[in-house]
Each structure stands twice: as C-alpha cells, then as structure tokens.
Amino acid sequence: MGDEGQSQLQNLLQQEVDKFKVVQKEYHKALQQRQTLDGQLNENTAVKQELDLMKGGAEVYKLIGPVLIKQDLEEAKQNVAKRMDYIRNELKRMDEMIVQLDKKQETHRETLNKLQQQFQQMQVKV
C-alpha cells in the first residue's frame, strides 16, 4: 500500500473522527435538552400539587408578560395537565433520540478502533 495507502487511511481516520465529534455534540445537546425538560416537568408537578390543594372558588392568577390575569382554577389545572403531557411526550422522544445517538457513537467508536488498528499495522510494515 505504501505512503498513498497510509495517506488514504489517515484521511479515513480523520473523517471518522469528525463524524464521531458531530454525533458527540448532538448527544450532549440532547442530554441538556432532556435535563431542561426534566426541570420543566418538576416545576409543573409542583404547580399541579399546589393547584390540587386549592379549594373551589380560590383565585388563581397567570402571569402573561408583565400582567397577572385572573384564571379559572379548573382551567389552570387543565392547562398544567396539558403542559405536563406535552413535556412527558417530549421526554419520551428525547430518550429515544439519546438511545439512537448512543448507538451511533458506539458504531463510530468501533469503526475508529478498526481504522486505528489498520493504521498501526501499516506503520509496523513500513
């Protein structure tokens, strides 16, 4: 194979490293998004618990921009429940994405290991 083969293998290795770095970035971004969603779910769970403690006729206000707007208790409960459903669905989607990205990372790791072994074997022959 010689120098040309070594050069081609080096290029392949670099391309694989670059692909691996892209997948790693996507993976870490997905983890951060998942953490954000987790925090939002916890916040909404706390709000739901507070709303559940309220008696009928209690006054509930929603912050819209700089203004507090009076809101019906049942409507507030429904809004929080919908928000929690949405967040749970997003968490599920994010978990699936994380699993897929993890598999991609593993595939790139295996390919990198094979290419590195080939490269080392080629250097030993030279």
* Residue 1 reports pLDDT greater than 60: no
What is the domain range of residue 16? 2-125
For 96-109, what is each residue's pLDDT tens digit? 999 999 999 999 99
What average pLDDT does range 7-21 have in this prediction? 91
* Residue 16 reports pLDDT greater than 90: yes
What is residue 97's three-state secondary structure? helix
User: Cα torsion for 81, 82, 85, 86, to the nearest 10°?
Assistant: -140
pLDDT top residue among 125 and 18: 18
Q: What is the pLDDT of residue 112?
A: 93
Residue 68's φ and ψ, nearest 5 degrees, are -90, 125
What average pLDDT does range 70-96 have in this prediction? 96
The CA-atom distances, in angstroms, between 34 and each of 27, 41, 96, 103 are 10, 10, 11, 18
Neighbours of 61 (CB within 10 A): 11
Q: What is the pLDDT of residue 121?
A: 85
Q: What is the pLDDT of residue 126?
A: 61
pTM: 0.80
Q: Where are the beta strands (DSSP E) in 3-126?
A: 60-64, 67-71
Number of domains the chain is built from = 1
- Are the C-beta atoms of residues 111 and 8 closer than 8 Å to each other? no
* CATH number reported for the structural domain that contains residue 121 in this entry: 1.10.287.370
Residues 89, 53: Cα–Cα separation, whole Å = 26
Mean pLDDT lowest among 1-5, 75-79, 101-105: 1-5
